Amino acid sequence: MDDRIRAHAETLVDWSARVEPGDEVVMRVAEGAHDLAVAVAAELGARGATLLATYGSDEVQRAYLRAYDGDFAPAEAERALYDRADVYLSLGGGRNTTATADVPGETQSAYARAREDAREARFATDWVSTVHPTRSLAQAAGMSYEAYRDFVYDAVLRDWEALAAEMGQLKEVLDDGREVHLVNEGTDLTLDIGGRTAVNSAASVTYDSHNLPSGEVFTAPAGAEGEVTFDVPITVKGRRLRDAHLVFEDGSVVDFAAVEGGDALADLLDTDEGATRLGELGVGMNRGITRPTDTVLFDEKMAGTVHLALGRAYDACLPAGESGNESAIHTDLITRMDEGSRLVVDGETIQRDGLFRWEDGFAG
Amino acid sequence: MDDRIRAHAETLVDWSARVEPGDEVVMRVAEGAHDLAVAVAAELGARGATLLATYGSDEVQRAYLRAYDGDFAPAEAERALYDRADVYLSLGGGRNTTATADVPGETQSAYARAREDAREARFATDWVSTVHPTRSLAQAAGMSYEAYRDFVYDAVLRDWEALAAEMGQLKEVLDDGREVHLVNEGTDLTLDIGGRTAVNSAASVTYDSHNLPSGEVFTAPAGAEGEVTFDVPITVKGRRLRDAHLVFEDGSVVDFAAVEGGDALADLLDTDEGATRLGELGVGMNRGITRPTDTVLFDEKMAGTVHLALGRAYDACLPAGESGNESAIHTDLITRMDEGSRLVVDGETIQRDGLFRWEDGFAG
């Protein structure tokens, strides 16, 4: 076994999920994640946790959903499982990223709605999502399998303690800040973040961070004025979106365009009222991620990028009892902070030309 | 997809497990059983059942058990899952029948003991075990993959309704009977079955039958006198056992021998007091199974064979409140009922030369 698979498993169990002896662990294994599952099982065994492995097969799911006719029943048994579980580890990594492309969207939504209780119970555990590199994901990224594996492990096997400390500096600035000013090519945007709390997303439940890899600091902006261009391409529901450009007035999108995928963007904005407002401002800080791979789990954490999400805000960023932007979607759009870019908080430049003020070469 | 996979799934869901709309189903998927899992998922979807798939990976299990050090905790979360589940479908079919050969037996036993509650909850559901044909199982059977698939589907895709009716005749004879006399080459054995109830194991929970394929009628003998030779070879804990010969006095084994594996037989008999007594008399009636494959799930159901199990008796065969033979083992030993054989109940010949009295060619 590749030593990096073992290191990935150890990072997941120790740093990310903080598994303790006696913890009851449910581990979801995607079709292509077998090798990582074996490595994680060894880590869980060594820590004296219990283990139930579930099979997260897109093909099983597709067959089930396509055959279903009628209303979905709630999944009480599955909910009972998660109610008792302490930790949920999702090992992604399928064999075909478009395996469920022929399941109608309404079916998928209806299924998701019926299972809301089970999902909430799962999110109440110390849950962590990660992916095992597969040929299918390499293909989606336009990379060879070997190169993609290197890419994934560079992103996952970081010095998370050190990165958490670095990200803590940005969190402090954002927590204290009232106004963010984002300047880049095609971008001049002002965001109101007063009273919001930033999450230091250091790939560990201890930091309210549930992705491995992670490596971003994010908060929930309340208002937005100006324009922004997203030059990192993404796929939205199977459609390519390139160089999306949004104009905000009073917090809402009032104009938009895209070099490719303008119709996909229109559909997205049309979802509901909240889809035209921002739910998240995130700053990518993972230097192990050096290129986009059309997977948001990685792309949004890429060092030297900033992302904004249309749609739902996360509770962790909001004052207790206050609800932020609400929407059925949360879609991250990403811009590279290259030469000429600036991230300014309350008049103070925090990042210029993609370099933070605490980095060598920063030109204040 | 091979149409037989679909037919297998339909038989499992409809005939065996009798899945109803709204049933909560847990489906265990072995490493090599993916294709059957997809077919079963479609059947469950079409019936409006819920579905949680678990991953029954021997390699995950091996890694977990080998890494574990100390006492195993009970699996409360898993137990909660089975407590709420209506149906449990186990889709066997691995990639290596010896995948856990280097897990110490004590570890496996300790793990099984700690999880007794979860296991009991699973057995309280309408559970059914089946196998998907894999290359690994074909190899264990000494067969090509193509031939093995034909073998499995011949065994599974029966006219179960008709077989259940035929087996019902034998059940009636055994239910009313007091004494079974078994005559074969190297076999002259008398078994006391008075007051015991036979199970018509027709591969359906409706018949208290939890294996697909099945196709046997079995009961629990109370006493045994005489000798018996088992000419179908089996593997007991990794050791080959061939032509085992047992001599019974007053219900217990008093002498034994084997052409191969005598030490394995000695170890078996040495397990506990109950291991020297019989827990089951079974009569194989599945004509789709025409050769032994060293897998008890199939071998014991082979038409024209009779098997006796050393060890534990099943409650379904016993009068309410009465406990039968108790033991940590239940090991089936099989004999072919060829030319010259006889199965006699209370002086009446039920089977001669491998043919039942209701079959063409039976020579009463």
> B261 and B350: one domain?
yes
> B76 and B136: one domain?
yes
The model's pLDDT over A99-145, given as tens digits with 9 standing for 90+, comes to 998 999 889 889 988 998 999 999 999 999 999 999 999 999 999 99
The radius of gyration of chain B from alpha carbons, rounded to an integer in Å, stands at: 20
CA distance A201 to A166: 11
Asked if the Cβ–Cβ distance from A45 to B34 is below 8 Å, we say no
CA distance B221 to A244: 78
* Rounded-to-5 percentages of helix, strand, coil across chain B: 35, 30, 35
CB-based burial, B211-246: b 16+ in 10 Å, e otherwise: bbbbbbbbbbbbbbebbbbbbbbbebeeeebebbbb
Residue A100 DSSP SS3: coil
CB A72 within 8 A of CB B91: no
CA distance B317 to B193: 10
CA distance B106 to B120: 21
Asked if the Cβ–Cβ distance from B80 to A76 is below 8 Å, we say no
Domain annotation covers residue B237: yes
Domain annotation covers residue B364: no
CA distance A82 to chain B (A): 7
In sequence order, which residues have a C-beta less than 8 Å from that of residue A188 and are 6 or more positions away? A182, A226, A227
Asked if the Cβ–Cβ distance from B52 to A26 is below 8 Å, we say no
Residue B200 β-bridge partners: B217
Token pair for residue A12?
């997941």
Domain annotation covers residue A41: yes
Amino acid, single-letter form, for residue A91: L
Tally of structural domains, chain A: 2
The model's pLDDT over B49-105, given as tens digits with 9 standing for 90+, comes to 999 999 999 999 999 999 999 899 899 999 999 999 999 999 999 999 999 989 998
CATH of the domain at B8: 3.40.1830.10
> A88 and A178: one domain?
no
> B297 and B333: one domain?
yes
Domain end, chosen from B123, B156, B189, is at B156
Q: Residue B331: is its pLDDT beyond 80?
A: yes
Domain annotation covers residue B246: yes
CA distance A60 to B193: 46
CA A344 and chain centroid, separation: 24
CA distance B124 to B145: 35
Q: ipTM greater than 0.85, yes or no?
A: yes
CA distance A58 to B42: 13
How would you write the pLDDT of chain A (364 residues) with one tens digit per residue?
799 999 999 999 999 999 999 999 999 999 999 999 999 999 999 999 999 999 999 999 999 999 999 899 899 999 999 999 999 999 999 999 999 989 998 898 899 889 989 999 999 999 999 999 999 999 999 999 999 999 999 999 999 999 999 999 999 999 999 999 999 999 999 999 999 999 999 999 999 999 999 999 999 999 999 999 999 999 887 789 999 999 999 999 999 999 999 999 999 999 999 999 999 999 999 999 999 998 888 999 999 999 999 999 998 999 988 889 999 889 999 999 999 999 999 999 999 999 999 999 998 7
Domain annotation covers residue B361: no
The boundaries of the domain holding residue B241 are: 160-356
Token pair for residue B301?
């159901």
> A86 and A178: one domain?
no
CA distance A137 to B330: 47
CA distance A298 to B263: 58
Nearest residue in A to B72, CA atom:
A48
Size of interface A-B (CB pairs under 8 A): 154
> A127 and A233: one domain?
no
DSSP state of B206: G
Residues of A in contact with B85 (CB under 8 A): 77
> A323 and A184: one domain?
yes
Asked if the Cβ–Cβ distance from A84 to B76 is below 8 Å, we say yes
Asked if the Cβ–Cβ distance from B29 to A81 is below 8 Å, we say no
Q: Which of A57, A26, A215, A213 is nearest to A133 (CA)?
A: A213
Domain annotation covers residue A361: no
Distance (Å) of CA B14 to CA B22, B89, B90, B202: 14, 12, 15, 13
Domain end, chosen from B138, B156, B174, is at B156
Q: Which of B44, B64, B78 sits opposite A45 (nearest CB)?
A: B64
> A341 and A196: one domain?
yes
Asked if the Cβ–Cβ distance from B81 to A80 is below 8 Å, we say yes
Domain end, chosen from A105, A130, A156, is at A156
> A136 and A33: one domain?
yes
Residues of A in contact with B39 (CB under 8 A): 63
Nearest residue in B to A29, CA atom:
B55
> B101 and B172: one domain?
no
Domain annotation covers residue B362: no
CA distance B37 to B312: 32
Asked if the Cβ–Cβ distance from A64 to B42 is below 8 Å, we say yes
Q: What confidence score (pLDDT) does residue A262 get?
A: 94
Domain annotation covers residue A51: yes
Nearest residue in B to A31, CA atom:
B34
> B169 and B146: one domain?
no
> A274 and A339: one domain?
yes
